[in-house]
Structure 1
Amino acid sequence: MANISPYGRFTHAVVRGVPESFGRADGQDTKEKESVELAKAQRQFGVLTGALRQKVGLQLIEIPADQDLPESWRIEDVAVIQGDTALITRPFRQQRRTEAEAVRRVMSELNLTVVEMGVEEGGSGGATLEGSDVLFTGREFFVGISSHTNHRGAEVLADTFRDFAVSTVPVCGGARLKNICSMGGPDTIIISNSEKARKTLRMMEQLTDHHYDMLTVPEDAAANCVYVQSPSKVDFLLHRPADECPDSIAAFQKLQDYTLLPTACSEVSKLGASLSSLCLLINRKHTYF
């Protein structure tokens, strides 16, 4: 296996602004979701980006909001990045695929090797892959097979990142894999205590030879966190605050020596998104230990 940077060591965060069309699909108000507050979503986005830049110390690259792309703030979905390679994905919904254009330009400007997931992949219907279905542990990839990501998409990811094992696990109930689990540090998986999450975890454990520590949280929404180790080797964890996930705060406090950063995302969560949906994290220092 090629040398890799320690898990969580990042230098840049790429984000995309929340547009005025937030909460709409194809330019129309979304009927099946809870009503969202645009101003509140934009404030929460500002707090997240401020935490990444000012507290964690990452270099922040913000792509302007695009009113014609109401879901483009879900930037995690359109690229999977590991090392010097960025795989530009193919979201399930046709309307979202042009979101990749601005992200592709940023990846090129950062001198990453850009790999395209072409429309021809997989024949009829083609490969689909969204980054919120991809969990990279620092050692291997788990890809959630969901209503957004199919097996052919997982195969393209495996072809792109050949230094790492890639395992697929089904995700139930319309969720994305990272709605129910995320990394809480090197070798630590944060996972919901729901039955669907426990079922997914059992499958993941059967597919890996590595032992991961588990931090179980009682609320699904709390299972998605953003872990970053700063250049000064401080462990930061961005997580849902007490007013959004009150029953999970005690679990986060078990992470000794971490700097916990409560970060609200109630508005994007109404649309099925999570904290990690709002950013792409990149390491451009090439320092390996």
Structure 2
Amino acid sequence: MSTSRYTHAVVSRIPHSLREHHPSLDYDKAKRQHENYVRILRDIGLDVIEMPPDENTPWSVFVDDTAFVCNGTAIITKLSEPDRAKEVDIIRAVLKKEIGLPIVEVSNKSAKLHGSDILFTGREFFIGITKWTNESGAVAVASAFPEYPCAPIKVKENKHLKTIVSMAGPDVMCVGSSEESKHILKLLEQEATYSYQILTLPEDEAANVMYINGTLLHRSAKEIPKSFKVLNEKISDISLQSVDISELLKCDGVNLNSCCLLARRAKHIRNL
């Protein structure tokens, strides 16, 4: 399914300037964790495009914020922070020149759209309506990929949609156990055009996983001890790989997926 088959990952090294916004960040530890994260992406077969750190763009390590790729086409997001415009320009150029993807721009000036609010199941889109993403942003995704159903999901908490629910395999949704998580899952099931299997984990922070080419990336046992046990008990048909980026996760709105932009170069590029 297209939700899991990827050929490329775009990543960016961590600029020192990120510490200006998060003084408690242990830069050296974050750097080591990020290097291991990138190594894992390569080990599971992705062609990793690694950009150098840019001190003028402190948030640039969080590349998933800036775009979303589906079926060989990239939609460039509309970040609410004007000082991140350079990041978006860089990612646009990388996706177009390095991977050869056609680009869709969000034309509505009032739109807000963030990559971590875009949940693609392989069958349909769910767009989290959050402080980072609005209804106009959801409409932009629906317009960019009209071949798929697209439903907005209101998120009350100060979280991205993919923080609360993510895909843990073909047609498998992963979600936490809190009342808010259950509420979001209920909204998803009401809007869904397909019936999904549900993997419920005891810790909400464990719900953000990444299913990539037959491997499920999840947070480390130290971070999610109860959920780590559940994952190993319930998942036997795919490879499990723990990833520790706990230092970067201290930053507001950051998830496992935040540090890489996954893409699949289509054999046949569609006409736009």
**Under TM normalisation by the shorter chain, which class is it?**
over 0.9
The aligned residue for residue 170 of structure 1 is 154
State the Cα distance separating 1:257 from its structure 2 match.
Answer: 2.2
Letter in 2 for 1:38: Y
State the Cα distance separating 1:259 from its structure 2 match.
Answer: 1.3
The aligned residue for residue 29 of structure 2 is 40
The aligned residue for residue 3 of structure 2 is 7
Please give the residue correspondences for 1:88-127 in structure 2 after superposition, counting only pairs within 5 Å: 88-109=76-97, 110-118=99-107, 121-122=108-109, 126-127=110-111
- SS of the residue corresponding to residue 62 of structure 1 reads strand
User: Which ranges in structure 1 are unaligned for 5 or more consecutive residues?
Assistant: 230-234
- Post-superposition Cα deviations, 1:36-73, rounded to whole Å, max 9, x if no partner, equal 2111111111111100102x011110111111111111
Pairing 1:284–2:272 present: no
The aligned residue for residue 211 of structure 2 is 227
Please give the residue correspondences for 1:93-242 in structure 2 after superposition, counting only pairs within 5 Å: 93-109=81-97, 110-118=99-107, 121-122=108-109, 126-229=110-213, 235-242=214-221
State the Cα distance separating 1:285 from its structure 2 match.
Answer: 5.1
- SS of the residue corresponding to residue 24 of structure 1 reads helix
State the Cα distance separating 1:268 from its structure 2 match.
Answer: 1.6
Contact in 2 for aligned 1:11/1:285 (Cα 8 Å): no
Contact in 2 for aligned 1:215/1:251 (Cα 8 Å): no
How many aligned residue pairs are there?
265
Contact in 2 for aligned 1:171/1:200 (Cα 8 Å): yes
The aligned residue for residue 262 of structure 1 is 242
Contact in 1 for aligned 2:72/2:266 (Cα 8 Å): no
Contact in 2 for aligned 1:23/1:36 (Cα 8 Å): yes
Q: Distance in 1 between matches of 2:184 and 2:60?
A: 28
Contact in 2 for aligned 1:128/1:149 (Cα 8 Å): yes
User: Which ranges in structure 2 are unaligned for 5 or more consecutive residues?
Assistant: none
The aligned residue for residue 228 of structure 2 is 249
Q: Which runs of 4+ in 1 moved over 3 A?
A: none
Give the alignment partner of residue 24 of structure 1, picking from 17, 20, 27: 20
| Structure 1 residues 100 and 47: alpha-carbon distance in aligned structure 2, compared to 1, 3 A threshold | same
Letter in 2 for 1:211: S
Q: Distance in 2 between matches of 1:196 and 1:23?
A: 31
- Post-superposition Cα deviations, 1:218-259, rounded to whole Å, max 9, x if no partner, equal 112211111111xxxxx2111001111111012211111221
- Post-superposition Cα deviations, 1:250-287, rounded to whole Å, max 9, x if no partner, equal 22111112211110021121113111011111112539
The aligned residue for residue 232 of structure 1 is none
State the Cα distance separating 1:15 from its structure 2 match.
Answer: 0.7
| Structure 1 residues 165 and 285: alpha-carbon distance in aligned structure 2, compared to 1, 3 A threshold | closer
Q: Distance in 2 between matches of 1:225 and 1:248?
A: 12
Pairing 1:58–2:46 present: yes
Contact in 2 for aligned 1:88/1:116 (Cα 8 Å): yes
State the Cα distance separating 1:18 from its structure 2 match.
Answer: 0.9
Q: Distance in 1 between matches of 2:20 and 2:136?
A: 29
- Greater shift, 204-213 or 276-285, is seen at 276-285
Q: With structure 2 as the length reference, what TM-score do the two structures score?
A: 0.93
| Structure 1 residues 100 and 238: alpha-carbon distance in aligned structure 2, compared to 1, 3 A threshold | same
Letter in 1 for 2:207: A
State the Cα distance separating 1:7 from its structure 2 match.
Answer: 2.9
Q: Distance in 1 between matches of 2:142 and 2:20?
A: 33
Contact in 2 for aligned 1:240/1:262 (Cα 8 Å): yes
Letter in 2 for 1:103: I
State the Cα distance separating 1:23 from its structure 2 match.
Answer: 3.8
Contact in 2 for aligned 1:140/1:166 (Cα 8 Å): yes
For the aligned residue pairs, the C-alpha RMSD in angstroms reads 1.4
Q: Distance in 2 between matches of 1:6 and 1:180?
A: 21
